Each structure stands twice: as structure tokens, then as C-alpha cells.
Structure 1
Amino acid sequence: MNKIVLLILVVSAFSITSVHAQNKDSLSFDERNKYIYYQVAEETKVKADTLYERALHFLKNAFENDRLKLSKEDKDKAILTGKGGFMVTKKALVSMQDDAKITFNMVIEVKDGKYRYWFTDFAAIPYRRDRYANFSPVDGKKIPLEQGLRKLGQKTLDDYLEQTLINCRNISGVLKTYMQKPSGTPKNDGIKRSVTTKEW
């Protein structure tokens, strides 16, 4: 009897911790009732100025301009803001086709030894086939994901939210690598290195 009770307690504790871990790394709603992906990370023994420079280097160099670019910087408050977007595709008969572009804002805030960042203001710009059989964005139509259930439908909204979460996790991974290493371009020591093709 004691073994059964102990087993039930262990299983329930494991399920509670796994649910808590899933909720920590997922989309949720903020105080404005908008979807948000929010994370706090520590970089002990690193000053706020250094973290700010690394975050600035990340927003300027990590991705192409249409994927993520710097939109505003405030060194006094140690806040950086970026805007970006990514394509969501859906499966057609034989190939994949562009379905929408999801746009977002990213905010990075730094302090001594830690930083936080969040993605918010997600909006979908639907794509449709034009008269030349190319997929292009629908003019003037931008749907906030909070209104997606009403305007897009449950299945489409679920697909968009899943792709949004995957994209946020990917960008977060790149940000963490930038925040852990010194920023800047590698120094050129002026020595030309030649490649030998005789030995391999």
C-alpha cells in the first residue's frame, strides 16, 4: 500500500514539474491581453554596459533585416527594441506555399548580471496567389494573433502559434550565444594565411 501511494506521489510530482516546465517556455498573455514570449536569463559577472553592447551587436548582425532588425535603442534605460517577421508555409498538393508572414516586436532589457527579453505584438499578414501565380501579401490586411480565432479559424491559428513559438525559441537560442561571447568583429592581425594543396 505504501509503495502504491509513493508511486502515485512520484508520478504526480513528475507530471506537475513537466507541465510547469512547458508553461515556462511557451506563449502566454501579458497585461494588455496580447500574446507574449518572455524570458529572463543570467550572465553573472557581466556588467550592464557589456550586455547592452552584446544585445546591440545581436540586433544589428544576427539576422537579415527582414527577419529581425534594430528599430529603437535607449542606452540610458538599457532597452533595445527590434522588429521582425517570418514566413509561415502550408502544404499544397505537391509543394509548400507561403500562407502568411508573422510580424513581431522584440524588446531586450539589461541589468548588471542579467537580461530579459520578450516577443510581442504578433500579427499575421495573409498571402494569396496573384494574377501572375505568385504568392504576395494581401494589401491592408494585418490580423493580430489575439483575433486569430475569429478571423483565421482554429486550425490556422494553432499552426501560426506553433510556428511563432518555434521561431521565438530559435531567435532566443541565437541571442543567448551572442550574450555569452564578446561582441564585435574578429580582429585582423594582418597575416595572410595561405592554403597548401600538396598535403591533405
Structure 2
Amino acid sequence: MMKQLMLLFIALCIGQFSYAQKGLLSLNEHNQYTYFQVKPVSKPVSAELLAAYLKKNESGVQSATVVDNGGMAAKGGMLVYKQGLVTGQEDGQIAYKLTVDFKDNKYRLMITDFMFTPYQRNRFGVFAPTGITTPLEKAQGKIRDKQLNNYLDKLGAYCAKVDKLIQNYINNPEPAKSNPAGLKKIDTQNW
């Protein structure tokens, strides 16, 4: 009886967790899915160092640059998988744009412009992009509803992970690493 209650509790928690991830994405004024957070900043943050930190610590971020207003902009992508009975296979890639702006002791994180590129098995048996890119908002007729909901759940979890990574850096920035003293050269001719 106790095992059944524990399994029921775990099943309810997992269902609640997956529901919460989809709620993280909302539609903006242009009817695009957007992850949007505004949080306080206690001390000034260098956008250049934040861009370098993101490129180093998040494999999905492909390019990160500093913009003129003191913030940063980045582009990236994440792979989504189709789960089979035993293994999963790459189903596509979702590309995104990430911006972080700083103003009045706050920062704004916005992840938007989600573009889905489906993958298809090529003649060598490798999954490769088909070259067709669809905005995620308009993928309703091109992707099954169950798959789309799964993608939105994974995307919400990924955005929350990136948000936590940025928040950890802002609260505890990495100190600048000093270059270690060069190796001491030994003259082997004069001994």
C-alpha cells in the first residue's frame, strides 16, 4: 500500500513539473513564444564577461556579442529528440535569440524568435537538417500537437536553465583569471 502511495505521489509531482515548464513561455505582442524575466541586480555586471561566460558554460549558445546599450545579444539552438521505446533520435533543432539588458539595477532576460528545423535521416543513416525552417508559433499544422507540447515543455525547461545560469553569474561573477607566471627557462649550455 505504501509503495502505491509513493508511486502516485511521484506521478503527480512529475505531471505538475511538466505542466509548470510549459507555463514559462508566453506569447508577446507579435504573437511569438517568449521567455521573459526581469530581476534585480545588486552590483554592476560586465555584459562582455557575461557573454563570454554564456558561450563557455552553455553549449547551446553559438554566438554572443555586446550591444551598444550595455546589454548583450546571443543566438543559439537546442536539439529536440523523438523518444522511442528504447532509444531516442534527433527530431529537429530549435534556434532562438537571447537578449540581456541592464537598466536601473535590474536586468531583463528575453529569449524569443524560436525557429524549428526538422531533421530527417539522410542516405548515410545520419539525421540532418532538411533546410526548412518554421517559426514555432506557426508549426501547429506541421507538427503534431503532442510533439509541439513536448517541444514547448523542453524549451521552457531549457530557458529556465539558461535563466538560472545567468542569475548565478550575476550573483557570483567569476573573478578575472590572472595569467600564471611563465615557466622558468633554464640555460642548459652553462652548467
State TM-score, norm by structure 2.
0.76
The structure 1 segments of at least 4 consecutive aligned residues displaced by more than 6 Å after TM superposition are: none
Cα distance per residue 1:107-137 (max 9 Å; x no partner)? 1001242111110000111011111111111
Aligned to 2:77: 85
Aligned to 2:99: 107
Matches within 5 A, 1:97-176: 97-139=89-131, 141-176=132-167
State the aligned residue count. 165
Q: Give, in whole Å, the separation in 1 of the partners of 2:176 and 2:62.
A: 18
2:86 maps to amino acid: V
1:59 maps to amino acid: L
1:39 maps to amino acid: Q
Q: Is the 8 A contact 1:28 1:35 kept in 2?
A: yes
Q: Give, in whole Å, the separation in 2 of the partners of 1:132 and 1:148.
A: 28
Is residue 35 of structure 2 the alignment partner of residue 37 of structure 1? yes
State TM-score, norm by structure 1.
0.73
* SS at structure 1 position matched to 2:91: strand
Q: Give, in whole Å, the separation in 2 of the partners of 1:70 and 1:41.
A: 24
* SS at structure 1 position matched to 2:31: coil
Give the C-alpha shift of residue 71 in structure 1.
Answer: 4.4
Q: Is the 8 A contact 1:70 1:83 kept in 2?
A: yes
Q: Give, in whole Å, the separation in 2 of the partners of 1:40 and 1:93.
A: 40
Gap runs ≥5 in structure 1: 1-21, 193-200
* SS at structure 2 position matched to 1:101: strand
Gap runs ≥5 in structure 2: 1-19, 184-191
Q: Is the 8 A contact 1:53 1:183 kept in 2?
A: no
